[in-house]
A = this chain, B = another copy of it.
Amino acid sequence: MHFDKPVPVTTIAQLIGAEIFGNVNGIATGINEIHKVENGDLVFVDHPKYYAKCINSDATFIIINKQTDCPEGKALLVVDDPFEAYLKIVNFYRPFEPSMKMFSDTSSVGEGTVIMPGAYVGNYVSIGKDCIIHPNVTILDHCVIGDSVVIQAGTVIGSDAFYYNKKTNRDIHYKRMNSSGRVLIENAVEIGANCTIDRGVSHDTIIGAGTKLDNLIHIGHDTVIGKNCLFAAQVGIAGATTIEDNVILWGQVGVNKTLTIGKDAIVYAQSGVKDSIAGGKVYFGSPVEEAREKMKEFVWVKRIPQLWNKLMEKE
C-alpha cells in the first residue's frame, strides 16, 4: 500500500511506540509485505531467521523486535510485536470504513458503463468506460477497473486475503493480517460469474489487459496475471503467484502460491501446478509434468501387468 501522502518515519514510530535507529529523518511512502516491498516502504519482521532478508530488501524502514545493524539511509523501528505494529499502521492509514450505500459517493464510473441492480461498489473504487457490471456483483474499497471490462453476476472483486499469522499461545490460533492492497483490473478483461478476486495483502492483485476468466474462479492475493490469458471455469490460484502473458489454464486447474508460470504455457484440466513452470510448453497432472511425459507414464503404468507376466514366465 502507498500512503495517500508520504509520512515522516517519526510519525510512524510515535503511532506504534517504536524506538528509531538509523535514518530518523526518513519519509515513508508506503508499507508492504516482504514479497512486494519497494524503496520508501515500511516492512516488518519478527523472526531472526528473516532479519537479514528484510533489512537488505528494497524496504527503507524495518519494523523489528530487536535492535541490529542497519544499512546507511535506512531505519529500524524497534517494537515488541512487529506484526501488531504493522496492523496498527494499516488500520490507521487504511481503516475499514464500509460504505453503507450500494454505490459509494467516493467512487467514480466512466461514460458508457452500465452498473446493474444489486451490484455493490464500495469506497474509492474507480471504474472506467464502457464496462458492464452485472447484477449482484460486489466490488470492494480501493479497487481500480479499466475500460471495456465485463464482470458477470455474483462475482466478488477485492475480498480480503486468506493470510493469517499463527499465535499458538492463544485460544484462537490465527490472526488475520489485514489486507491493505487493491485489485487492479486492466482494459478489456472479462470475468465470469461467481468468481472471487482477493485484494493484495499490502500490494496489488493485477489482471492484465485482455485476459478472460470463466466462472467460479478464485484468484488469491497479490497474484499478478499477464495479458491475454484464458482461464476456464473453477481454476484456483493461490497468493502472490505470477502468471505471464497468454497462459491458458483449463478447467479446475489449481496453482500454488508464490510461483511463476511462463509465457504461452498451457495447463490441461484438473492439473496441479506445485512449482514454477517454464513458458511455451504444455503440462498435465497433479503435480504437473510436461503433458507428453505424463501421457507416456500412463502407457507405462498400463504395462505393469505385462511386466509381471514376463517376470513370472521366467520363474
Contact = CB atoms under 8 A, between A and B. Distances in A.
B209 A162 contact: no
A114 interface: yes
A159 B236 contact: no
A93 interface: no
A234 B233 contact: no
A307 interface: yes
Contact of A210 (B172, B232, B238, B310): B172
B98 A114 contact: yes
Contacts of A246: 173
B196 A215 contact: yes
Interface string A230-261: 10111010100000001000011010100000
A138 interface: yes
Nearest to A215: B196
A50 interface: no
B135 A135 contact: no
Contact of A297 (B173, B228, B302): B302
Given A118-B118, A156-B194, 20 more contacts: A100-B116, A118-B120, A120-B135, A134-B159, A135-B140, A136-B154, A154-B154, A159-B192, A172-B187, A174-B210, A174-B228, A176-B190, A194-B196, A218-B233, A232-B238, A252-B252, A300-B301, A304-B307, A307-B308, A310-B315
Interface of A: 96, 98-102, 114, 116-118, 120, 122, 132, 134-136, 138, 140, 150, 152-156, 159-160, 162, 164, 171-174, 176, 187-188, 190, 192-196, 198, 209-210, 212, 214-216, 218, 220, 228, 230, 232-234, 236, 238, 246, 251-252, 254, 256, 269-270, 272, 274, 286, 297, 300-305, 307-308, 310-311, 314-315
25 contacts: A102-B118, A118-B138, A122-B135, A134-B140, A136-B136, A138-B153, A152-B159, A159-B193, A162-B233, A164-B212, A172-B188, A173-B210, A215-B218, A216-B236, A220-B233, A233-B238, A234-B236, A234-B254, A236-B252, A252-B254, A256-B269, A297-B301, A297-B302, A304-B307, A310-B311
